[in-house]
Structure 1
Amino acid sequence: MTNVENSTLKKSIILSFFLLLSPFLFSQKTKLDSLDNLLSSADNDTTRVELLWRMASAASVYNPDTAFVLAFESISLSKEIKNVEGQARATGIMANIFMRIGNYPKALELNIEKLKLVEKDKEKLNLASVLINIGIVYALQEEYQKALTYYKRADSIIDLYKLESISYNIALNTGDTYDRLNQSADAYTYFDRSLKIARKNEDGDLIGTSLTGIGHSYRKLGKYTEAGNAYLEAIHYLKAANDNEMLCETTLGMAKLYRLMDKRDSARYYANLSMGFAKTGFPTKEMEAAIFLSDHYKKLKKFDSAFLYVDYARVLNDSINSKNNIRKSQIISSNEQIRQLELAALRIKEKKDRSSQLQLLLIAVFIPLLFMLTLLLSRVILSIKFIRLLGIISLLFFFEYLTLLIHPTVANLTHHTPLYEIIILVVLAAFIIPIHHKLEHWMIHKLLHRRIAKHKEEKKDEDENEDA
């Protein structure tokens, strides 16, 4: 099916959590306020990460700008405390926001980033979900073969791990993509699978959606009777579910079927029906119906009516283009917002790095001063045990400082793999510890040899005096 013909895909983005129903907004705002209160009293970073991404999810429905900030904060804190699950959740939410406003390249980038985070996750639902969402982004960009690649990966995981909660989504998405590629036999297979799942779950809205896809497949395969039956049954379920958006598509599909059957009055009736449903808030669907009616009247040589619908479609197109321009400005704005958030995070990181470097510098200055103090005190009449203790402390500071300097390099070399890190550190310790003991023995000896020699000399004098 062509892009103008079908929007089944929109219906199937259930996995992306696009909560577009207006009655839901109030509850989401209330939920956000409740989460905000919990955040102010959170006593650990793991809880803060979860509350932040939950707040971002709630805010994304009605305030994308706030959602961006909350999701970004959750990602930053997750990275800091190495909370992979929290980072994946927040990244997915941000990807969904970008998808909603039409910034598909950024949505794809973030979904692939999330995929890397969840690939080794034991919870396979997260992996399958992000694979579906990547496929959806590719489909929205009309890269259907790439979309199918990710759908098939998701499908194999769903089948292997029996992830029934998203089995409908993958079947419908795959069927829709094959339909867009005009591979109607394959499309029918997946639409039929989705229909069986929807019937099992007794979900009338989803039954109607799947039947619409089946109607499209039958129509393209030339099975007009079967197509008509599927469309009529779909209309019954969709009306019961008050799904006007899908009714626009189903009734227009019926109009196209009757045009192929050369039943012009029926074609006009269903096209007008589609336009009526579209007027409840779906201008793109309204324009599709207007274009169909314009072509319909041209073929009947009723040029006045045809021109009327051409003009009507042009007005709708101007309105849609205006909304698209607003969306483009939203995309630019969102990119700039993310850039500013990244700059702010970079400034915070640089501040922390400067603080760490300053501390390392102070430690580097303190260690020689401690050595010098120990050396000076060794010449003063103080307890030998105290001098020995100072010497040991000085060396401990020195070697711990070396470890502090070495560890970041080791972590970077091993890409923060604990097993490799501990092996390298153990090998280094095998060299450093003996050196530490030898150096400690040598240093204590050097610090105290004068005191010990002087002590022996004084004792010898005392013994000689006693003998005298």
Structure 2
Amino acid sequence: MNRTKTIYKNAIYAIIFLLFPRATFAQNREMDSLKQLLSRTSSGTARVDLLVKLGLFEQSFKGGLRYAEDALALAKKIHYRKGEGASFNQIGNQYFAASNYPAALNFYFQGLKIREETDDINGIFGSYNNIANVYFELGDLDRALTYNFKSLQFSQPSNVYGKACLLNNVGTIYEKREQLDSALYYQQRSYELFNQSMSKYQYINTLNALGSLQMKLGNYELAKSYFSLGIKNGVEYNDSLNRASSYLGLAKLFKQLKQEDSCINYAKRAIVFAHRQQSVAQSVIVDAGKLVSELYVGKNDKEAYTYLKLAMDTRDSTFSREKTMQIQNMVFAEQERQKEIQEQKSKEAEERQNNLQYAAIALGLVTLLIGFFVLSHSVIANQKLIKFLGIVSLLIIFEFLNLLLHPYLGELTHHSPVWMLLVMVSVAALLVPLHHKVEYWVTHKLVEKNNRIRLVAAKKTVAKLEGKVS
């Protein structure tokens, strides 16, 4: 079974495959239909869903990624959380198809978090299965199995197709671990569900898996029938990739049966169909090339060399591709690191701006309060209160300047604690004398004002007393 395409089958939009077989002409027709519908849908949740679907059907990595990122941007703008989850999942699909597994895993987990928050059952089902696929490709079979079983817990009774695909994945893991009884159990369940499902897309994976298992168990005729059914399903859905696996399975079967001509015939067919999906079917070409080369040795050495060279060149290409993937993963990791740094800077800048505003508001209130006491013609203010408010205002001004100057001081002093301390002490040295002068002026004005108020009050009292005496 090839798992590279399994990311699409259990996602939230798996229903698409129930309606549109994955034949090339059907995909093109569906893409045209979706693009026309998108041109008539200017905004809203419907546009997000359309962009995600377009990303699903788009064959190129950049094209599919662009649709998914556009969907994510719009979903965030309109606060469509379910759409955000689907968009993150589809971005993960694009990176998975490009074999950038760390990036795929990162986006799958982001999508899963949102889907759990929004209680999107079908979405959670798809996310868990996609995460399992990544771990499978990374060779972590235990985690792959864990996430497949987590996905199974969210399987809805109506999602027969999705469950059939999922059980096929579970069976494949058990076969990889050489637990053939468990593998056969889950592949049989997958086979039964596919026979109940309206769609038979990806049914070929289960048929190929059953063929492989029966061949290992020595049931060659039964294995042959499964591989033949797989080829029939591959023709129906124009599935070159998995059809190549069916042909390779038959080639291996005929090799065990000592039917060399049939083995060579089917191995060559496997190579032909694998070449149509070379970027994801290189292992088929390597295995089939080696198989043909072995059978030609001593009979047709030229052909033996040709097919051995094909296998070796493809293997070298696979190695080169793995190196490219490693570079892509490092680039992605660095991009994510820079993104996190930028987000942290933006967050800090926003917090600093808010703190500056709070400090400015507090300083304004204290200044207004002092001004009220100084300018009021009726309120006698206590000098100790004014001194206290003056100290508070000094502290607020110092904090305000600290917040305002800190980013620039950091760049100027390269965040040296000693230099930053010296600069702030210098600022304080300038502020304190200024504070004393302002405090003296305010106190002087306050005494004058208080004296005037008391004088006016005394005159009024004297006038009242004189009036009573007369």
Which residue matches 1:139?
Answer: 136
Contact 1:115 1:130 in 2 (8 A): yes
Which residue matches 2:305?
Answer: 307
Contact 2:23 2:237 in 1 (8 A): no
CA deviation after TM superposition for structure 1 residue 261, in Å: 2.0
Q: CA 1:466 to 1:29, structure 2 compared with 1: closer, same or farther past 3 Å?
A: farther
1:62 aligns with 2:58: no
* Partner SS for 2:307: helix
- TM-score between the two structures when normalised by the length of structure 2: 0.68
CA deviation after TM superposition for structure 1 residue 166, in Å: 2.5
1:272 aligns with 2:271: no
When the two structures are aligned, how many residues end up with a matched partner? Answer: 388
Which residue matches 2:93?
Answer: 96
Which residue matches 1:289?
Answer: 288
Contact 1:175 1:187 in 2 (8 A): yes
* 221-230 or 322-331, which deviates more: 322-331
Which residue matches 2:220?
Answer: 224
CA deviation after TM superposition for structure 1 residue 467, in Å: 6.4
Cα separation, 1, equivalents of 2:353 and 2:36: 38
Cα separation, 1, equivalents of 2:370 and 2:287: 86
Q: CA 1:90 to 1:344, structure 2 compared with 1: closer, same or farther past 3 Å?
A: farther
Which residue matches 1:419?
Answer: none
Contact 1:32 1:55 in 2 (8 A): no
Give the root-mean-square deviation of aligned CA atoms.
Answer: 4.4
Quick one: which amino acid aligns to residue 242 of structure 1? N
1:237 aligns with 2:233: yes
Which residue matches 1:262?
Answer: 258
Quick one: which amino acid aligns to residue 150 of structure 1? Y
Consecutive unaligned residues of structure 2, counting only runs of 5 or more, are 15-21, 381-388, 397-448
Which residue matches 1:372?
Answer: 370
Q: 1:288-340: per-residue Cα shift (whole Å, max 9, x none)?
A: 22112112334x66544322211222233344444444444443443344344
* 59-68 or 271-280, which deviates more: 59-68
Q: 1:34-88: per-residue Cα shift (whole Å, max 9, x none)?
A: 49x946xx8xxxx79968985995788534775686588679x68xx99764654
Cα separation, 2, equivalents of 1:229 and 1:307: 32
* 137-146 or 271-280, which deviates more: 271-280
* Partner SS for 1:289: helix
1:13 aligns with 2:13: no
Which residue matches 1:125?
Answer: 122
Contact 2:52 2:67 in 1 (8 A): no
Which residue matches 2:170?
Answer: 174
CA deviation after TM superposition for structure 1 residue 459, in Å: 7.0
Cα separation, 2, equivalents of 1:208 and 1:52: 28
Which residue matches 2:210?
Answer: 214
CA deviation after TM superposition for structure 1 residue 129, in Å: 1.8
CA deviation after TM superposition for structure 1 residue 167, in Å: 1.5
Q: CA 1:281 to 1:94, structure 2 compared with 1: closer, same or farther past 3 Å?
A: closer
Q: CA 1:221 to 1:183, structure 2 compared with 1: closer, same or farther past 3 Å?
A: same
Cα separation, 2, equivalents of 1:197 and 1:112: 28
Contact 1:217 1:227 in 2 (8 A): yes
1:23 aligns with 2:28: yes
CA deviation after TM superposition for structure 1 residue 148, in Å: 0.7
Q: 1:70-126: per-residue Cα shift (whole Å, max 9, x none)?
A: 588679x68xx9976465444433433332322223333443444444445432222
Which residue matches 1:249?
Answer: 245
CA deviation after TM superposition for structure 1 residue 10, in Å: 2.7
Q: CA 1:168 to 1:451, structure 2 compared with 1: closer, same or farther past 3 Å?
A: farther
Contact 1:129 1:154 in 2 (8 A): yes
1:465 aligns with 2:462: no
Q: CA 1:203 to 1:99, structure 2 compared with 1: closer, same or farther past 3 Å?
A: same
Quick one: which amino acid aligns to residue 280 of structure 1? R
Contact 1:101 1:331 in 2 (8 A): no
Q: 1:437-461: per-residue Cα shift (whole Å, max 9, x none)?
A: xxxxxxxxxx99x979977984784
Map residues 426-437 of structure 1 onto 2, 5 A cutoff.
none
Q: CA 1:207 to 1:376, structure 2 compared with 1: closer, same or farther past 3 Å?
A: same
Contact 2:160 2:194 in 1 (8 A): no
Cα separation, 2, equivalents of 1:335 and 1:374: 58
Quick one: which amino acid aligns to residue 292 of structure 1? L
Cα separation, 1, equivalents of 2:125 and 2:65: 28
Cα separation, 1, equivalents of 2:314 and 2:74: 41
Which residue matches 2:430?
Answer: none
Cα separation, 1, equivalents of 2:201 and 2:85: 31
Cα separation, 1, equivalents of 2:53 and 2:226: 42
Quick one: which amino acid aligns to residue 4 of structure 2? K
Cα separation, 2, equivalents of 1:31 and 1:329: 38
Cα separation, 2, equivalents of 1:49 and 1:351: 33
1:157 aligns with 2:154: yes
* Partner SS for 1:10: coil
Q: CA 1:465 to 1:170, structure 2 compared with 1: closer, same or farther past 3 Å?
A: same
CA deviation after TM superposition for structure 1 residue 219, in Å: 1.2
Map residues 72-87 of structure 1 onto 2, 5 A cutoff.
85=82
Cα separation, 1, equivalents of 2:183 and 2:107: 29
Q: CA 1:27 to 1:356, structure 2 compared with 1: closer, same or farther past 3 Å?
A: farther
CA deviation after TM superposition for structure 1 residue 348, in Å: 3.2
Q: CA 1:116 to 1:463, structure 2 compared with 1: closer, same or farther past 3 Å?
A: same
Cα separation, 2, equivalents of 1:200 and 1:90: 30
* Partner SS for 1:222: coil
Q: CA 1:86 to 1:273, structure 2 compared with 1: closer, same or farther past 3 Å?
A: closer
Of residues 351, 354, 361, the one that matches 2:352 is 354
CA deviation after TM superposition for structure 1 residue 252, in Å: 0.8
CA deviation after TM superposition for structure 1 residue 366, in Å: 0.9
Larger radius of gyration: 2
Quick one: which amino acid aligns to residue 238 of structure 1? G
* Partner SS for 1:205: coil
Cα separation, 2, equivalents of 1:322 and 1:206: 29
Cα separation, 2, equivalents of 1:237 and 1:53: 30
